[in-house]
Structures are given as structure tokens and as C-alpha cells.
Amino acid sequence: MEPAFPFVHRRTELARIYCDALEGRGVLDFTSGLFLAAPRRTGKSTFLREDLIPVMRERGWEPVYVDLWSDRDREPGELIAGTIRKALDQQDGVVLKAAKRIGLDRLNVMGTLSLDLSKIGQPGGATLADALEQLRQQAGKPLALLVDEAQHALSTEGGTRTMFALKAARDRLNQGTGKFGLHLVMTGSNRDKLAHLVLRKSEPFYGAGITRFPLLDRGFVEAYAQWLNRQFAQGMEFPVEVLEQAFDLVGRRPEMLKRIVGEAVSEFGGAAALSAQLMENAKELQRRAWRDFESLYNTLTDSQKAVLDGVARLSPDYEPFSEEAHAAYQTLTGKRLAASSVQSALDALRDKELLWRAGRGTYAFEDDGLRAWYLEQHRDPPRLAPLDPD
């Protein structure tokens, strides 16, 4: 058995395709921004950090990365502004640090702009466009701002304003130069949530498209199998087909695959038993997730089930009080729901962490997995008993 070493799977070619599209080269065009959607734990953040950012640096860009789920209790707009402050601080280097040592918080940088680093993005302080333009000048290269779980910004008014500010910064830094000063990349674990940034004229990036981030393919499984099987004696390896089937069962989530492989190894019983145990562990993980969803669904009132059904079938164009939504509710309940009942159901579903509300009153499933399970179990709207009280 060879000693274990870290498993790394690169997607460099995909990163190059995205960078080409951000520059407007090639078939794809993401010059307005790249908005990537994929379920949680399928490798988006790893791809940004280990593949996309290195390729950006190779091209002479200055990447700035912020994860809005790194501190979900913190105002999303402040997380973004704080990351830009940190990048400016690093670029200012010795001069700015010397100024701070003698108590100066304001510094005239390059004789063009006076920035108060403590108030970037705040009333009375420098705008995000000002800060990003200054960062580009000091870096001497194009910027790439990567916002992971960007949809979380829409959960607050401050975060929503920050998204509009980033749109303004993009327009300002890219205007009239013939070159790009700012590339934007935003990811989301829920396609419907991320769509709220681009679908309506009232949203900050109206007109941009949502790109489905490709899940890890068989190439990943084959590379992982090759790495894994070096650690086992001949005849005791994991077949690639078994790993592929297990990967499908866990939603093509690499961390979950590694977890169930570890569980199978811990109950080692020969090659055949190892593969059988791997598949059983994967199926059990899937069954457990569906049981949790079903158990929670069965606790809902009829009005809550009707509203949940409406969100599932009408998203991403779901509007809770539209005639289309009321017709969907009535299909389940047999009667028209009062507006107060709809709002009460929406509030309850949010409390149960089944639904997510954007800052401007639009809704989506908190977890894409729940929506997939629900639509699989209820291909047609379920007929409910007479409406029970909320």
C-alpha cells in the first residue's frame, strides 16, 4: 500500500473558459458578470479558490474573494466592504501602514482621491465604486470581485444596496476604456435565489443570465478512484462504477463521497464487502435526507403546504399574491386563501427554514434538495383535506 497524499482535482480548462467569457472572447459572453448556480457542497467554492482565482492571476488580474456565508450574522454589505478595505490596506503597503501608526485614518492616495477606509460603502464615506477604482489604480491591473453565496446579500436592505453599488462600480470601471477594469463573479447554491439578482428590471443585474455550474463528472470519479486504490492491495480496490453510482446517490457532492468511502473502509471486509458497504452507506445517506424532508413536510398545515406547492411549481416567477399563485393554492385547498393566510404561511415556512425571502419580498426554497424531493413526490398538486386553521 502506498502512503496517502492529498487528493487534488483541477478544473483549469473550465476556469480558462470562464475567464475568456468574462473578457468577451469566445462563444460565451459574461462581460456583464458571471452568475454561477449549483447545489451546496458540489465544489463551487473550491473551484473559485483553487481553479478560477489562480487562472485570473495568471492573466494579470487582481482577484478579491468574499464568502457571504463566512459570517451569516454579519451584514452582507459590510462583509463586501470589509473585504475591499482589506485589499486596499494590503495594496497601500508601507505608506498607509505608516500613516495609521501616527493616527491617520484618511490618506490622499496618489493625489487623486481621499478615502476614509473605515467608512467605505457607508453614508458620508467613499462609495464602493470609488474604493474599487482606487484599488484598480494601486494594483495596476484589472480587478475580479468574486462573491460566494451572493444571493445572501438580498436578505437585507443594506446587502441589496451593495449589489446595486457593485453594478454601478462595474459600469464605471468598464466604461469607455476599451478594457475591463472590473470583472464580477457571483455564485449561489440556489438557482432561484440567485435569479433574483438578474430577472427583473428592478434588480441590480437585470439582463444577465444564470449559468449552471457543471457538477463534477466521471473524470473526477476516475481520478479519485486512481488516488484511492493506490492505498489498497490488488483485489481490494474500489471499482470505478461503484464509486460513480455512490457519487450520484449523494448528489455528486465530493465531501459526502469521501465520507461514505471512509465509513466503508472502517467496516472493511474484503473487496466485495467494501463495495457493497459503500453503496449501502450512500443509499442510507439519501434515505435519511428524504426522511427528514418528509417528516418536516408532514407537520405543515394545509395552507402552508399549499403555499409551498405554489413556490415549488411557479419559481422563479413566483409572486405570493398574484392570481396565478392564488389559483395554485386553490387547486390544493379547494378554496381561495385570504392574503393574511398566505402571509402567515410564508412566515411559518421561513421560520421552519423551508423558504427564503429576498429583501424585496420574493421567495424561493431554502434548499434545492427539498424542492427536488417535493416535485418528485408530488408530480401533480396534492389534494388536501378541508383547510385547517393556522
**pLDDT tens figures, 216-270:** 999 999 999 999 888 877 777 888 998 998 888 888 899 988 888 888 887 665 5
Angle at 191 between CA 189 and CA 195, to 5 degrees: 125
Q: Is the CB of residue 64 less than 8 Å from the CB of residue 44?
A: no
The per-residue pLDDT for 388 is 53
β pairing state of 355-357 and 363-365: antiparallel
Specify burial of residue 55 (Cβ count, 10 A radius: 0-12, 13-18, 19+): buried
Angle at 172 between CA 112 and CA 134, to 5 degrees: 30
The per-residue pLDDT for 45 is 94
Helices (H), 51-156: 53-58, 76-101, 128-139
The per-residue pLDDT for 231 is 82
Map residue 389 onto helix, strand or coil. Answer: coil
Start-to-end Cα distance in the chain = 61
The per-residue pLDDT for 94 is 38
Map residue 119 onto helix, strand or coil. Answer: helix
Q: Which residue has the cell 434545492?
A: 368
Distant-in-sequence, close-in-space partners of 94: CB < 8 Å, separation ≥ 6 = none
Specify burial of residue 120 (Cβ count, 10 A radius: 0-12, 13-18, 19+): buried
Cis before 389 (ω within 30): no
β pairing state of 34-37 and 106-109: unpaired
**Beta bridge partner(s), residue 116:** 106
Angle 128-139/157-174 helices, nearest 10 degrees? Answer: 50
Low-confidence ranges of the chain (pLDDT < 70): 1-4, 93-125, 176-178, 267-274, 358-361, 368-369, 385-390
The per-residue pLDDT for 41 is 86
The per-residue pLDDT for 277 is 78
The C-alpha cell that represents 161 in the structure block? 444596496
Residue 51 has what DSSP assignment?
I
The per-residue pLDDT for 11 is 96
Q: What is the DSSP string of 144-213?
A: EEEEETGGGGGGSHHHHHHHHHHHHHHHHHHSSSSS-SEEEEEEES-HHHHHTTTSSTTSTTTT--EEEP
**Three-class secondary structure assignment of 222-268:** HHHHHHHHCCCCCCCCCCHHHHHHHHHHCCCCHHHHHHHHHHHHHCC
Phi, psi at 115, each rounded to 5°: -110, 135
Q: In Å, what is the CA distance from 382 to each residue of 13, 256, 304, 370, 378?
A: 45, 32, 13, 16, 6
